[in-house]
Amino acid sequence: MSKGFLRGLSFGIILTTTILSYFLYTSVTEKETSDFTISSEEVTQFLEQSGQTSITVEEYTRLTEASNELEQVKLDLENLKNQSSAHAQNEENMTEDTQVEPNEILSYTLEIKSGMATTQVSKRLEEVKIINSATQFEEYLKKRNWEGSVQIGTFHVNNKMTVEEIAAMITGH
């Protein structure tokens, strides 16, 4: 046996092994394919056995949206409860149809929330007898161009304060 013959034989064996290996690992028989197929009944049965269920993408989306809406409603309800308790506390602080004596000092905690209009603030101050006229207070704010400058927060006011003092306090001027 010559050197060239052995080299050719070796090359042939290597080439044949490579080709056979390629076909062995890349071809899939019918039996192998059927082993990997899972029917929807098998999935349903497996999920039932493990105490789980399956839902469609649309159902999942609806459930997610409903959950988000529920969280928003819970937050809104909590905010309403907080506002209601603060309003009730303010109502307790003032008595109905309070007649203020000329020398009596009537104090009030004014709570201004986001979105409250100047008219709401002025009417509230008039209701609790801190100011005499809501209209006069609103006109003062308009004249100074402060009607859009009312700040959110809690302010302690009394009936001995002037319209100018109260306006300056709640607008930060």
Residue 96 is predicted with a pLDDT of 46
Cβ atoms within 10 Å, residue 140: 19
Give the tens place of pLDDT for each residue, 86-141.
666 655 555 444 555 667 788 889 898 888 888 898 999 999 988 988 999 999 88
**Mean of the pLDDT values across residues 164-172?**
90
Read off the pLDDT band of 148 (50, 70, 90).
Answer: confident
Residue 87 is predicted with a pLDDT of 62
Q: How far apart are the first and last CA of the chain?
A: 111
Place of tokens 């009936």: 159
Greatest Cα pair distance, the chain, in angstroms, is 133
Backbone φ and ψ for 69, nearest 5 degrees, come out as -65, -40
Read off the pLDDT band of 18 (50, 70, 90).
Answer: very high
CA distances, 13 to each of 20, 141, 168 (Å): 11, 100, 99
CATH assignment, 103-171:
3.30.1490.480
Question: CATH 3.30.1490.480 occupies which residues in the chain?
Answer: 103-171
Mean predicted lDDT score pLDDT of the chain: 84
Residue 86 is predicted with a pLDDT of 66
Give the tens place of pLDDT for each residue, 27-39.
766 555 556 678 8
120 alpha-carbon distance from chain centroid: 28
Give the tens place of pLDDT for each residue, 39-64.
888 888 899 899 988 888 999 999 99
* Nearest-angstrom CA–CA distance, 120 and 134: 9
Residue 82 is predicted with a pLDDT of 79
Do 143 and 120 contact (CB within 8 A), yes or no?
Answer: no
Strand ranges for the chain from DSSP E: 107-112, 153-158
Read off the pLDDT band of 84 (50, 70, 90).
Answer: confident
